[in-house]
Amino acid sequence: MAVSKNKYAYAVGRVRVLETRLFDYGRLDRMLEAATAEESLKVLAESSYGNHFAEATGVHDFEIILSKEMAYVIAEFEKMSPQPEMVALMALNQDFHNLKVLFKCKYLGRQGEEPLLPPGMIPLKRLRSGVEEENFRDLPPVIRRAAENILMEFALSPDPQLIELHLDRALFEMKLAVAREGGSVFLVELFQREIDLLNINTFLRVKKMGRSKEFLQLALLPGGLLEEALFLNLLGEGLEGLIDRLANSPYGEIAAEGIRGWMEEGSAIRLEKLADDYITGYLRQRKSPPFGLEPLIGYLWGKQIEIKNIRLILVGKINGLPVEAIRERLRHVYL
Partner 1 sequence: MEIRVNPTRMELNRLKTRLTMARRGHKLLKDKRDELIRQFVILVRENKELREQTEKALSGAFARFLLARAAMPIESLENALMYPTRRLSLKVTRENIMSVYAPKFEWEETAVTEEGGIYPYGFVDTSAELDSSIETISRVMSQLMELAEVEKATQLLAVEIEKTRRRVNALEYVLIPQMEETIRYITMKLEENERGALVRLMKIKDVVRASR
Distance CA(244)–CA(240), nearest Å, equals 6
Among 86, 190, 268, 293, binds partner 1 (CB under 8 A): 268
Q: Which stretch binds partner 1 (CB under 8 A): 11-19, 43-51, 99-107, 139-147?
A: 99-107
If one asks whether residue 173 binds partner 1 (CB under 8 A), the answer comes out as: no
Q: Which stretch binds partner 1 (CB under 8 A): 44-52, 73-81, 284-292, 318-326?
A: 318-326
If 0-12 CB within 10 Å is exposed, 13-18 middle and 19+ buried, where does residue 85 land? Answer: middle
CA neighbor of 296 nearest in space, from 105, 49, 77? 77
Among 59, 151, 177, 321, binds partner 1 (CB under 8 A): 321
If one asks whether residue 89 binds partner 1 (CB under 8 A), the answer comes out as: no
Buried b (16+ CB within 10 A) or exposed e, 154-193: beeeeeeebbbbbbbbbbbbbbbbbbeebebebbbebbbb
Q: Strands (DSSP E) along the chain, which ranges? A: none
Among 87, 90, 101, 255, binds partner 1 (CB under 8 A): 101
Identity of the residue numbered 241: G
If one asks whether residue 131 binds partner 1 (CB under 8 A), the answer comes out as: no
Q: What is the dihedral of CA 111, 112, 115, 119, to 10 degrees?
A: 100
Among 159, 181, 227, 240, binds partner 1 (CB under 8 A): 159
Q: Which stretch binds partner 1 (CB under 8 A): 101-109, 179-187, 236-244, 291-299?
A: 101-109
Among 104, 126, 245, 284, binds partner 1 (CB under 8 A): 104
Please state at what angle helix 269-285 crosses helix 294-318, rounded to 10 degrees: 150
Distance CA(59)–CA(192), nearest Å, equals 37
If one asks whether residue 157 binds partner 1 (CB under 8 A), the answer comes out as: yes
Q: Which helix (H) or strand (E) element contains residue 302? A: helix 294-318
Query: Is residue 112 a contact partner of residue 135, using CB atoms and an 8 Å limit?
Result: no
Closer by beta carbon to partner 1, 68 or else 287 = 68
Please state at what angle helix 9-20 crosses helix 294-318, rounded to 10 degrees: 30
If one asks whether residue 79 binds partner 1 (CB under 8 A), the answer comes out as: no
Closer by beta carbon to partner 1, 27 or else 100 = 100
- Residues whose CB falls within 8 Å of the CB of residue 157, separated by 6 or more in sequence, listed in order: none
Query: Is residue 118 a contact partner of residue 65, using CB atoms and an 8 Å limit?
Result: no
Applying CB under 8 A, the site for partner 1 has a residue count of: 53
Q: Which stretch binds partner 1 (CB under 8 A): 4-12, 16-24, 184-192, 305-313?
A: 305-313
If one asks whether residue 121 binds partner 1 (CB under 8 A), the answer comes out as: no
If one asks whether residue 71 binds partner 1 (CB under 8 A), the answer comes out as: no
**End-to-end Cα separation, the chain, in angstroms:** 30
Q: Which stretch binds partner 1 (CB under 8 A): 75-83, 155-163, 180-188, 285-293?
A: 155-163
Distance CA(264)–CA(261), nearest Å, equals 5
- Smallest gap from residue 143 Cβ to partner 1 (A): 15
If one asks whether residue 170 binds partner 1 (CB under 8 A), the answer comes out as: no
Binding to partner 1 by CB under 8 A, coded x per residue (else -) over 208-237, reads: xx-x-------x-x----------------
Among 3, 34, 75, 116, binds partner 1 (CB under 8 A): 116
Identity of the residue numbered 232: L
Report the interface residues with partner 1, using CB under 8 A: 63, 66-67, 93, 97, 100-101, 104-105, 107-108, 110, 115-117, 157-161, 163-165, 167-168, 171-172, 198, 201-202, 204-206, 208-209, 211, 219, 221, 266-269, 271-272, 308, 311-312, 315-316, 319, 321, 326, 329
